[in-house]
Amino acid sequence: DNTEKDLSDLLKRPDSILEPGVSELANSFIETSGNPSDLVVYLSDSYTGASEQIRYIQDLFNEFCEGDTEALVQDIMSKMVLDKYDNASIEQSFNKNSKQLLQNTLGLVESPYWRNIIYQLSVKYPTSSFLNILIK
């Protein structure tokens, strides 16, 4: 069982409001005596809009560049993931809430492009429980 602090930490993660299962997470927070106004603050303060920003950048590429802008954006994103991947942080999150983390990443595994990135990360972090489960 998650404590109110564990749940509030999950709600404070960047863009947690966009994660699958956020409704269940919010309900659990309230059920563990969490304050509803804190819930609103956590969700609104943690919103960064990263996915919307990426979509906006891709729209700009589409408007001003010719060619395959989706591939360009994917290339930029994959470089960022490979450079910024924080294995220790991911493993810690995975140990706390493996089900949620796996739900959030299953779509990536289905994409050959992103599956390749996962393989590259697994070479760099061969003992990662999270990456090893994704590959299986």
Q: Is residue 121 part of a domain?
A: yes
What is the domain range of residue 3?
Answer: 1-48
Which residue type does 63 have?
E
Question: Which pTM value belongs to this model?
Answer: 0.59
Q: Is residue 99 part of a domain?
A: yes
Q: Is residue 73 part of a domain?
A: no
Give the burial string for 12-22 (b: 16+ CB within 10 Å, else e).
eeeebebbeeb
Whether residue 15 contacts residue 46, with contact meaning beta carbons closer than 8 Å, is answered with yes
- The pLDDT of 57-64, averaged and rounded, is 83
Q: Is residue 100 part of a domain?
A: yes
Q: Is residue 20 part of a domain?
A: yes
| Count of structural domains, the chain | 2
**61-90: pLDDT as tens digits:** 888 887 778 788 888 888 989 999 999 988
Q: Is residue 78 part of a domain?
A: no
Q: Is residue 57 part of a domain?
A: no
Tokens 């069982």, residue? 1
Q: Is residue 118 part of a domain?
A: yes
